[in-house]
Structure 1
Amino acid sequence: MRMGGEQSKMYERYAPIQRMVKPGVWKETILDALQLKPTQWPSRDTTKRGDDRSLVDGGATHAPKQMKAWKTHHPKRYERLQQARAIINQISQDTHTPSEIVLKPQIVRDLCWTDHPGRVDVAEFLRREGARDWQIGLVSASLSRVTM
């Protein structure tokens, strides 16, 4: 297929190279994998971020993103979330840093979604969820007051 554009020219230029490289790379990788013993296979860690089915807080699933569900079915959690967002926004303004850089919104939602907020060590929770040390130091004390 020729479109005449720059993208088509790049495709025509690099497609033959890709066809030569990829099968060899895949074949080598598959052969290496077949040589592994079952004890050497990688394990799937279900507590890592990014997997929507993963578990947080010892059994609760990740918090939903839809605020309508929070507001109507879980008003206490919704109130905690609003307070946490206010804190994050204030820190964001004070440090001139976008709020999603201060702390990822999904981490804030997961923290507020916990079943027993008073029992959560906020700093440890943030660390488990993938927050960086500077983020934990910046927000953990303030968010601890919200979850109490």
Structure 2
Amino acid sequence: MTIRLENVGIAVRDLEAAISFFTDLGLTVIGRDTVSGEWTDTAVGLDGNHARIAMLRTPDGHGRLELFEYLHPEAIETEPTRPHEIGMHRVAFSVDDLDAALEIAARHGCRPLRGVATYEDIYRLTYLRGPSGILVMLAEELKKG
């Protein structure tokens, strides 16, 4: 049996705002749809499931992010996940220029939770709150080559 990661799915409060954030960081929208019906009820496990979705791809072509905004059932607002909570945690991206990525994030009102750290002279990295409170890690490799 072979296995590969297909995508990471994230429910968002505002699909257009989330798409804007991630495309500004460099991802590309590769598909959009509105889904509903028996097949989605069965696959997702929610009766009356109806959502607007967008699939985005990283520039290297390997990573995919599926964003979805629920139309029905009504989305449930929860407290944003904190870094030490059990469960779905964060989405992480390698960037070639962390400062430029942080400028883009700031234009969307997103700033580091605490600051930028350096891990063993290998990475500069930070966690920030993206759209809908999503934890996003951005990391720039320092030793390239």
State TM-score, norm by structure 2.
0.24
Instruction: Please say which structure displays the higher CA radius of gyration.
Output: 1
More strand by share: 2
Q: Which has the higher contact order (CA 8 A, sep 6+)?
A: 2
